[in-house]
Structure 1
Amino acid sequence: MSGPISPGLRSGSLPVLVALMTMLAGLALAGLTGIQALAESWNTAAQSSATIEIPTDADHAQSRTDHLLKTLHETPGVTDTKLLTPEKVRSLLAPWLGETDDKAGKPPALSLPTVLIVRHEHGIDLEAVVHALFPEAIIEEDMRWSIRLQRLGRSLVGCAWLAVSLIAAVAVLSVGITVRRSVSAQRRAVEIIHAIGATDRQISGKIARRAAGLSLLGGIMGLGALAPILMFLARLLAPFQDQNAQPPPPADTLAAWSATLSVLPHSLLEMLASLPFLAALLGWLTAQSVVLVWLRRLP
């Protein structure tokens, strides 16, 4: 097969298309990772804490509250108990309730309860323990929200996976259309080399290898363009991931930007690194399928 009549994939737009799809897939995977982490934190928080409201106007409220606190500390499975006095609750709700003029001797306009925040393990009947000592107490078991939060988390993760799947489908469709147009433009060259004995596999294999190379190049380009965006987002989200962690150093050097990658989960970095190779594989499979189908339809 001579150079002038050798058909191949001649499309300068394919790397650009793959680069854009790689960027979209990378952003979708980053969102998927964040949603999964958020859903896990929701589920963990909802399964391990409860809020108890104790009315302060009940009979012997202070002594009964102290007895309840002692009982909760001795209850197996209760890991932590935090007491919020009515004064503390009032200070927390001051932006909504307004400041009280205690110095003037005026009584508060609203009687606020004592609040207990109890962290516990799964399987404890906390309501029975509390109501046995303080029937007037109101318990808001966060575990009741666990199922709803799990469903919400699963739905968000499902939406993220759907977005990734749609991006992959659009990428395959774009590569297929590009390959088909390129091959159709070289119909005469294909007919000539068919006439001199070239098989369909040989033709499709050459075009598929070219498509894989261009897709790999586009994937690397897209990953390179995506890296600064992910680093910028990682710097913004770093304080939310660990409140006790030190803030990232100023982004004035390349090493500072590279250090920001430590904030990103390793699973996300592995998925992002695999995107160019997945793009090359999709490009090869798509080109093979499109060219073989197109060749079999030739007269």
Structure 2
Amino acid sequence: MSRRVSPGLRSGSLPLLVALMTLLAGLALAGLTGVQALADGWAQAARSAATIEIPTDIPNASDRTDALIHALKALPGVTNLQKLSTDKVQDLLAPWLGQPTDARKGLPGLSLPTVLIVAHTPDANLGSTVHDTLPEAIVQEDMQWGQRLEHLGTSLVGCAWLAVVLIAAIAVLSIGITVRRSVAAQKRAVEIVHSLGAGDFTISSHIAGRAALLSFMGGVAGLVLLTPLTTSLATTLAPFTHQATVPSTFPTTLDGWWTTLRILPLSLLKELGALPVIAALLGWITAQGVVLVWLRRLP
């Protein structure tokens, strides 16, 4: 019965289709993980730093700046304070103001501010100290950028999951079309088996089981095709996970594979490992529904 009812499911079209869909879903999940790691790293750094700009054209600017520096260093929660040099400030402003013709004279017609970079704990209150000591100074908490990055990460998460859902929908539609064509090509054989007493669910379960197996094989093949990307992603994510040893080339040993897998987030490994199972489940459900609907239309 299997060789006559569902010969089309034995071709390579269904596994190849599912492999490509698995590859696309894996790309979306891997890209999402990379963006999340990068955004989390930026946000974590932004939460613990602040930039203070001090105008240099105010009265007693140098003495008042030194007083502010001493007050900030004595403030609980301040872990590090760095005063940028004039050359560094010029380099930071160069994309907007251009490079000075003479480094000793600076930018003509402009008075560059003194810039302080203050690393602090989240509970440190820099605003009140700066306001009391030097009201003309401007405090820019990098936490605002951290919040923006969190919003960006949330948006990207939603886009990635939407892409995965769309890929799953396309996979279901494609599997359904493939199964229906396979069954329709054997219409006469199915009608004979059905007239001999084989139930609808028996026939559909047989075809659905085959579709699930081929979908699972395609999912595994998709993960194999995804391996170079996961290796590259592990190398990229290594600095964010504080890994000292990173495979510089494509791993060829079990130890190299284990090192690579340990760098990748556990959540990503679980999601990638679930893709073949999800593909098999979608293949089984889709084939069951398509075949049962098709059988109900038989005279």
Give the TM-score, by structure 1 length. 0.85
User: Is it true that 1:214 corresponds to 2:214 in the alignment?
Assistant: yes
Letter of the 1:47 counterpart: R
Is the 2:8–2:182 Cα contact (8 Å) retained in structure 1?
Answer: yes
Q: CA deviation at 1:209?
A: 0.6
Counterpart among 95, 98, 101 of residue 100 in structure 2: 98
Secondary structure of the 1:57 match is coil
Is the 1:238–1:248 Cα contact (8 Å) retained in structure 2?
Answer: no
When the two structures are aligned, how many residues end up with a matched partner?
293
| CA shift digits 1:177-205 (9 cap, x unpaired) | 11111111111122112212111111111
Letter of the 1:249 counterpart: S
Query: How many Å separate the matches in 2 of 1:3 and 1:296?
Result: 20
Q: CA deviation at 1:278?
A: 1.4
Q: CA RMSD in A?
A: 2.8
Instruction: Give the aligned partner of residue 115 of structure 1.
Output: 115
User: Is it true that 1:204 corresponds to 2:199 in the alignment?
Assistant: no
Query: How many Å separate the matches in 1 of 2:107 and 2:295?
Result: 86
Q: CA deviation at 1:175?
A: 0.7
Identity %: 56
Is the 1:179–1:290 Cα contact (8 Å) retained in structure 2?
Answer: yes
Letter of the 1:7 counterpart: V
Counterpart among 5, 13, 20 of residue 7 in structure 1: 5
Change (3 A) 1:189 1:44: same
Where does the alignment leave 5 or more consecutive residues of structure 1 unmatched? none
Query: How many Å separate the matches in 2 of 1:3 and 1:173?
Result: 23
Instruction: Give the aligned partner of residue 85 of structure 1.
Output: 85
Query: How many Å separate the matches in 1 of 2:153 and 2:224?
Result: 30
| CA shift digits 1:71-95 (9 cap, x unpaired) | 2233333343222233443465568
Change (3 A) 1:264 1:131: same
Change (3 A) 1:242 1:268: closer
Letter of the 1:169 counterpart: A
Query: How many Å separate the matches in 1 of 2:2 and 2:42?
Result: 61
Query: How many Å separate the matches in 1 of 2:106 and 2:15?
Result: 73
Letter of the 2:111 counterpart: S
Query: How many Å separate the matches in 1 of 2:106 and 2:32?
Result: 52
Structure 2 counterparts to residues 111-260 of structure 1, below 5 A:
111-122=111-122, 124-235=124-235, 237-238=236-237, 241=240, 245=244, 248-251=247-250, 253-254=252-253, 258=257, 259-260=259-260
Is the 1:68–1:133 Cα contact (8 Å) retained in structure 2?
Answer: yes
Where does the alignment leave 5 or more consecutive residues of structure 2 unmatched? none
| CA shift digits 1:90-148 (9 cap, x unpaired) | 4655684236353xxx5764432221112334455432221111011122222334443
